[in-house]
Amino acid sequence: MTRAYDVVIAGGGAAGLFAAIFAGRRGRRVAVLDHAEKVGSKILISGGGRCNFTNLDTKPDRFLSQNPSFCISALKRYTQHDFIALVDRHGIQWHEKKLGQLFCDGSAKEIVAMLVAECGDAGVDIFTQCRVDKVSANEGGGYSVATSLGDFSAASFILATGGPSIPKMGATDFAFRLARQFGLNLVEPRPALVPFTFADRDLNKLRDLSGVPLEASVACNKGKFREALLITHRGLSGPSILQISSYWRDGQEVSIDLSPDRPLAEHLKGLKRTRPKAELRTILGEILARRFAERLFETDLIGPQPLTTRPMADMKDADLVAIAQALHAWRVTPNGTEGYRTAEVTLGGVDTAELSSKTMEAKKLPGFYVIGEAVDVTGWLGGYNFQWAWSSGHAAGMAA
């Protein structure tokens, strides 16, 4: 028996559920199919269980894509304020943590419950433990969808199975395989918002500092982020590193400013006058994390040689300037990332040149839509990726 719908959506994550709500509200008969036991599993683990569901500062320059303009239309037609209004209607309490990032006061479960309730109101049928195996275009229009729960058919098919990051949460590369099958070009996918790993040679200087946080501004290619950084037993992590990982390419150097808010040369020269007897080691321990500062005197971490420890009065101004410059531009070359195992998102995906920016419909496949993380639009850390899921889901839901 084939179950017939107007719209079949593969993937009951943020984007798929959102598209279902808007298609259902338009009177379309909608089925959402997800192979997991519950829908919205990534929402449940997001934002440390509190779901950073949007960002007040959402604007197109917070997204990476081969076509940076592609996201403009969808983000404009369903904004962060629209989503906040929905959350408010459901009585979900929220707060801004920092940098415009909005989190639930309670739990991410409230966001999933809201989406499921909205789907219910819109008459959407949700099928869980329903793996989508095969999709084919019918002669005469529409799509047939073969699943572990049997066959479905619909005039419109929405591909919302996300990217392969965090496979243990049920993430798959199904979207990319299906897109290829239908002849849609892919921008090479790769893990993003992901910690860096270091080769042993570099790691040996840092490994035992695992857990030490540093304030930093981190730059690579066109990206620059002023946020915290964390040393890990495999390399570097923390918000600034996750952010810059989206801009980094294999083999490239990353520049880290360890005194992002204070010009260090002037500061050190000033301390030479006001605290001449203090040792350089003590001073740097006050400016940076103490354990990290000590490592500068034990290894060549920031320069060709370890620093020598002397009272400030004995330091030449030129040496203080050189130390300041090195700390403003600590250069590291990661040997890789932790990969899809821990990446929060997948960069790349279905090429936006294949899709209408207004509806997310594939230009050469009438009735075939791609939304959410499967598309080559990737947000910064901070609620931007969910906003893309809501906005692109809305765009497809209003058209499918």
Which residues of the shown chain bind ligand FAD in the complex (CB under 6 A)? 10-16, 33-36, 41-42, 45-47, 51-52, 131-132, 160-162, 165-166, 170-172, 174, 344-345, 372-373, 383-386, 389
- Nearest distance from C-beta of residue 239 to ligand FAD, angstroms: 12
- Nearest distance from C-beta of residue 159 to ligand FAD, angstroms: 10
Distances from the Cα of 295 to the Cα of 137, 180, 195, 319, angstroms: 61, 49, 22, 18
| 134/331 with CB nearer ligand FAD | 134
| 12/288 with CB nearer ligand FAD | 12
Q: Which residue is nearest to ligand FAD (CB)?
A: 13
- Nearest distance from C-beta of residue 203 to ligand FAD, angstroms: 24
DSSP category for residue 206: T
* Residue that has been written with the tokens 């329903």 in this structure: 130
Alpha helices (H) in the chain, listed in sequence order: 14-25, 41-45, 72-77, 80-89, 109-121, 174-181, 200-203, 239-245, 264-274, 280-287, 290-298, 317-328, 384-397
| 331/341 with CB nearer ligand FAD | 341
| 10/122 with CB nearer ligand FAD | 10
| 10/284 with CB nearer ligand FAD | 10
| 26/131 with CB nearer ligand FAD | 131
Neighbours of 271 (CB within 10 A): 18
Helix axes 317-328, 264-274, angle to 10 degrees: 140
DSSP 335-384: SEE-GGGT-SEEEEEE-GGGB-TTT-BBTTSTTEEE-GGGBS-EEPTTTH
- Nearest distance from C-beta of residue 28 to ligand FAD, angstroms: 19
- Nearest distance from C-beta of residue 272 to ligand FAD, angstroms: 45
Contact between 226 and 306 (Cβ < 8 Å)? no
Q: Which helix (H) or strand (E) holds 288?
A: none
- Nearest distance from C-beta of residue 45 to ligand FAD, angstroms: 5
